[in-house]
Amino acid sequence: MSRYRGPRFKKIRRLRALPGLINLFKYSKIKKENKNIPFRKKKKEYRIRLEEKQRLRFHYGLTERQLVRYMHIAGKSKGSTGQVLLQLLEMRLDNIVFRLNMASTIPGARQLVNHRHILVNGHIVDIPSYRCKPRDIITTKNNERFFNMIKKPYMVTHLSISKNYKAKNFQGRVIKIIDRSEVFLGINEFLVVEYYSRQI
């Protein structure tokens, strides 16, 4: 199955707010609207798990095959499978660029990476799924062009950004692996693990 490229708001109305698909202003507006929408009827357990999996997939912009591969990696790793899965997805380069506020959405961040604007440790990386590690330094190929667009990262402790106003230069840095409490998407990862435990 290929990556979804259809209307984003269609998915957001069905799966509730997905902050990676739209900018924060629209996200907060939709979040308020969703609070006023009453639940129609009790959902079946399978549908609840499926929707959690779909939310995870559409938020990070993954194909089904990619998400299954991440599930296999998380299942073989030490620790909670759900937490490791979220950490793997959060440490993707396109998501790091988004969380550093270099792009307003994850698809926008993926485009920057694909178009070879992003450097990791001084080398161009054009693979959105590249897994960032602690002490990695994220910059852009043309720092002056992006300098005024870069703001503070979204309230996280695993990332930092420093700006040199004289040289019009900035550096994003990965400090550590993200903690579960700082994952931007409100999701129950255990439902995703349960969904795949019956599918794989």
Residue 58 domain boundaries? 8-89+184-199
Whether residue 1 is contained in a domain is answered as no
- Could you read off the pLDDT of 23-35 as tens digits, one per residue? 644 445 545 555 5
pLDDT of residue 197: 87
pLDDT at residue number 39 = 47
Residue 157's pLDDT band (cuts 50, 70, 90)? confident
Is 17 contained in some domain?
Answer: yes
Residue type at position 19: P
CATH number of the structural domain spanning residue 190: 1.10.1050.10
My answer on whether 21 and 43 are in the same domain is yes
pTM: 0.79
Task: Provide the domain count of the chain.
Answer: 2
2 assigned to some structural domain:
no
Over residues 55-94, the pLDDT tens digits come to: 899 889 899 999 999 999 999 998 899 999 999 999 999 9
* Residues 62 and 43 both lie in one domain: yes
Confidence of residue 142 (pLDDT cuts 50, 70, 90): confident
**Amino acid in position 9:** F
Is the domain of 38 the same as that of 105? no
Note whether 52 and 187 are within 8 A (CB).
Answer: yes
Cα–Cα nearest to 109, from 169, 74, 154, 162: 154
Q: How confident is the model at residue 198 (pLDDT cuts 50, 70, 90)?
A: confident
